[in-house]
Structure formats: structure tokens, C-alpha cells
């Protein structure tokens, strides 16, 4: 308890560190939100030169085409200038006489101008336009359409991309915030040369370490709590699982202590966690179940604790199973990570204290 209180006091004196740690938690939420905002609904101009009922109907089907387009009705000139300036991805022009020709059973060319600077967005457009046309043709009962897709979903509700992302971002937050504070709790002892005093304490160094980590975890929990409130209030995710989040914080504090004990310097800690966090995040099922990316990437993901944390959090919040392994196995591996990390930190500290 005394060690935890001391850690809290020391952290209380580093207000800038605390402020930026909390800011870091919000940074990742912002980052994934920005990513999610551009992950769907490509900004696209519709130039309706027909103004007929079938043109309006086609625009409606483009709007509904699996979250593909953020449609803006523009004039031809404005659409062209926005496209060349990179403000929109594509221009779909419905030519004059479209409704009459289609109603008469003719086939009309639909000009689609694409800024193919990014292959991902270009692919989305190239798939979404035929998808909208297929729905348009079926809805109007055009003769000659012989095949339709009959979809059956494994999960009764769709989960939005951003709600999915922000929950996995909380796992990333826990890694960065708890990891940095756990690591700094250790590096401070090395840099200040106070490890020798651990030998003079009337308790084993493991207890002192546990106290320090408890203090760091308490502060991390507060920072993650701020991020969780943002997710709760800002993103409308009503079911946040506090126990799971606290478990992640505790585990990543232990991982941080291990990193801090091995690095012994504060300077690279933040950069290391930030630098590693993003690839670990992406290779953890944060965007989609990791196994969809192939067995090699999925196998690599098992080396990261974030993979298991995302699995547990997505199950707890959205009820989604994103790892083939059961959630109980994910929890068990996370606990093993914490035990291993704390063990390494404890061993390093004990050895250094004796040398000091």
C-alpha cells in the first residue's frame, strides 16, 4: 500500500505526463474514428441531367448500395472541378433521356468518372455501381434478370465499422496508457538510482513492485475511464464492460513494467509503445477477425497480447466472436502474459537491486 501511495504521489507530481497520457488515450479514439470515417461512403457526385423518375430511383439505389457512397448532387462543372481537385472520388452522370430510354427497354450508358489515385477506393466504386444497378433492375422487375443473391447473415444485426473500431481502440488505449505508465514507474527507479533502497525495505521487492504497479494501474484506469466515457457518450455504445477493461489495464501495466525494467530509460518508452501499438493493433483483429487476413498474419497475431484483448472486449461489448479461440482461452493467455511480464520485471529488479 505504501509503495502504491508513493507511486501515486510521484505520478501526481508529473501532471504533464498524466495529461498527455490521458490525451494519448483520446488520440487513438480519434485516429480510429478518422480511419473509420474514410473506410466507407466514398464522396461521390451525382450529376442528374435527366431529372426523370427512373433517374431519381437510381440515385436512391446508389444511396443504399451497402454504405458505398456519400452522394452529393452537383452540376457537371462543379463535379468536374471537385474531382480534379481531389475533393470527391467519382462522378456519376445520369444522361438526359435516361428515364425514357430505360422505360422503353433500351440500355443506357452511365458515365462514371473515377479518380483512381487509390486502388482501394477505386475497387469500392467499381463494385458498388454494378451492385446498385442490380438492385435497381430487380426493384423495377426488368425482364431477363435471372439470378439474385440470397443473403443469410451469421449475426442477426450488423455492427457499424466505427462502433467496432472504437471498442478495439480501447484495447489499444489500455496497451499504450497502462504500458507507458507501468514502464515509467520502473524506469524512474533506474534513472533516480533508488533501486538500492529496495534492498533496505522490510518487505520483499516483489511487494514493492506490486504496489508500484497497482498505483500505475489505478492512474491508467482513470485515463481509460475518460476514453470509455467518450465511447459511451460520444459513440452511443451502451454496453461497456468495466471488469474486462480493468483486466486489460492490469495486464498491460505488467507488460509495461517488463518493458521498463528491460529498457531502464524513460526516453524511448512512449515512442516504443506508440510505434509498436499501431502495427500490433492492426494485426490483432481490430478491423475484422484476424484470421480473414490469412494464416500467416493470424499466426503472427498470436504473439501480441492485443489480439486476445480485442477478442475479449469485442465479445464483452458487441457480443461478437472475433477469434476462433474461445474467450476463456483469450483471458487465460492474457493472464499468462501478465504473469510472465511481472515475473521478468521482478527478476530484473531483484538482480539490479542486489548489484546496486
Partner 1 sequence: MSPARQAWALARLDLTVWRRTPWAIAAAVIPPLGMAVLVTVLTWSVTRQPVALVVEGGGPQARVMARIIEADREAYKLTVTDLGRARQLLGRQQVAAVIVVPSTFDQDVAHGSASLDLTLNNVDIDFGDDIRRAVDRSVAEFDAPQLGASLERTGAAQGLVVPNAYRVDVAEHDLRHTTVTYARYQAVPVLILLLVNVGVLGGALLGARDHERRTAAFLGTAPMPRWSVMAGRLAGTALAIGVVAVPAVFALRLTHVVEPPRGHWVPFGALLAVTALLSAGIGVLLGSVVRQSATVALVAVTVSSYLFFLGGGFTTIAFLPAWLRTASLAVPTSYAIDAIRQILFYPDLTGVGRDLLALCAFTAATTAGGVYALRRVEP
Which residues, numbered 202-261, are part of the site for partner 1 (CB under 8 A)?
none
x-or-dash pattern for partner 1, window 284-313, by CB under 8 A? ---xxx-xxxxx-x----------------
Give pairs for 126-132: CB < 8 Å, separation 24+. Answer: 127/68, 128/42, 128/62, 128/65, 128/66, 128/68, 128/69, 129/62, 129/65, 129/92, 131/65, 131/66, 131/68, 132/58, 132/61, 132/62, 132/64, 132/65, 132/68
Task: Check: CB of residue 349 under 8 Å from CB of residue 209.
Answer: yes
Give dist(CA 86, CA 89) in Å, integer.
Answer: 7
- Pick the piece of the chain touching partner 1 (CB under 8 A) from 226-234, 242-250, 277-285, 328-336: 277-285
Q: Is 87 in the site for partner 1 (CB under 8 A)?
A: yes
Closest separation between CB of residue 335 and partner 1, Å? 23
| Structural element, H or E, at residue 306 | helix 305-318
Q: Is 64 in the site for partner 1 (CB under 8 A)?
A: no
Residues 6 or more apart whose CB falls under 8 angstroms from that of 203 comprise none
Beta bridge partners of 44: 71, 90
Rule CB under 8 A: which of 14-43 touch partner 1? 14, 16-17, 20-21, 23-24, 27, 30-31, 34-35, 37-40, 42-43
- Pick the piece of the chain touching partner 1 (CB under 8 A) from 59-67, 71-79, 210-218, 330-338: 59-67
Give the nearer residue to partner 1 in terms of CB position, either 215 or 318. Answer: 318
How many chain residues bind partner 1 (CB under 8 A)? 117
Give dist(CA 297, CA 301) in Å, integer.
Answer: 6
Rule CB under 8 A: which of 317-356 touch partner 1? 320, 322-324
Phi then psi for residue 73, to 5 deg, are -80, 115
Q: Is 13 in the site for partner 1 (CB under 8 A)?
A: no
Give the nearer residue to partner 1 in terms of CB position, either 15 or 355. Answer: 15
Q: Is 59 in the site for partner 1 (CB under 8 A)?
A: no
CA torsion through residues 293, 299, 303, 308, sign: positive
Give dist(CA 55, CA 100) in Å, integer.
Answer: 10
Rule CB under 8 A: which of 123-142 touch partner 1? 123-124, 126-131, 133-137, 142
Give the nearer residue to partner 1 in terms of CB position, either 128 or 245. Answer: 128
How many residues belong to the chain? 356
Rule CB under 8 A: which of 100-119 touch partner 1? 101-102, 105-119
**Residue in 6, 218, 276, 350 binding partner 1, rule: CB under 8 A:** 276
Rule CB under 8 A: which of 152-181 touch partner 1? 152-155, 158-161, 164, 180
Amino acid at each position: 500500500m505504501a509503495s502504491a501511495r508513493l507511486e501515486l504521489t510521484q505520478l501526481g507530481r508529473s501532471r504533464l505526463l498524466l495529461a498527455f497520457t490521458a490525451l494519448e488515450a483520446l488520440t487513438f479514439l480519434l485516429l480510429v474514428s478518422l480511419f473509420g470515417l474514410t473506410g466507407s461512403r466514398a464522396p461521390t457526385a451525382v450529376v442528374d441531367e435527366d431529372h426523370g423518375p427512373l433517374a431519381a430511383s437510381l440515385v436512391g439505389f446508389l444511396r443504399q448500395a451497402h454504405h458505398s457512397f456519400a452522394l452529393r448532387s452537383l452540376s457537371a462543372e462543379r463535379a468536374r472541378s471537385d474531382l480534379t481537385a481531389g475533393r470527391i472520388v467519382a462522378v456519376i452522370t445520369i444522361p438526359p433521356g435516361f428515364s425514357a430510354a430505360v422505360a422503353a427497354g433500351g440500355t443506357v450508358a452511365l458515365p462514371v468518372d473515377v479518380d483512381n489515385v487509390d486502388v482501394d477506393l477505386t475497387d469500392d466504386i467499381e463494385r458498388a455501381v454494378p451492385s446498385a444497378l442490380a438492385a435497381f433492375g430487380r426493384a423495377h422487375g426488368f425482364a431477363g434478370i435471372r439470378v439474385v443473391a440470397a443473403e443469410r447473415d451469421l449475426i442477426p444485426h450488423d455492427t457499424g465499422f466505427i462502433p467496432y473500431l472504437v471498442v478495439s481502440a480501447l484495447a489499444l488505449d489500455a496497451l499504450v496508457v497502462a504500458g507507458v505508465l507501468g514502464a515509467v514507474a520502473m524506469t524512474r527507479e533506474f534513472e533516480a538510482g533508488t533501486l538500492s533502497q529496495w534492498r533496505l525495505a522490510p518487505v520483499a521487492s516483489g511487494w514493492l513492485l506490486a504496489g508500484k504497479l497497482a498505483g500505475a494501474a489505478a492512474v491508467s484506469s482513470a485515463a481509460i475511464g475518460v476514453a470509455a466515457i467518450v465511447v459511451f457518450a460520444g459513440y452511443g455504445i451502451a454496453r461497456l464492460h468495466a471488469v474486462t477493461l480493468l483486466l486489460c489495464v492490469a495486464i498491460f501495466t505488467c507488460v509495461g513494467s517488463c518493458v521498463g525494467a528491460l529498457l531502464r530509460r524513460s526516453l524511448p518508452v512512449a515512442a516504443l509503445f506508440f510505434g509498436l501499438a499501431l502495427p500490433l493493433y492492426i494485426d490483432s483483429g481490430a478491423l475484422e477477425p484476424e484470421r480473414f487476413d490469412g494464416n500467416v498474419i493470424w499466426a503472427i497475431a498470436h504473439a501480441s497480447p492485443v489480439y486476445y484483448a480485442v477478442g475479449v472486449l469485442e465479445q464483452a461489448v458487441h457480443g461478437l466472436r472475433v477469434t476462433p479461440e474461445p474467450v476463456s482461452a483469450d483471458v487465460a493467455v492474457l493472464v499468462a502474459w501478465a504473469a510472465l511480464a511481472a515475473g521478468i520485471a521482478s527478476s530484473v529488479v531483484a538482480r539490479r537491486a542486489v548489484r546496486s
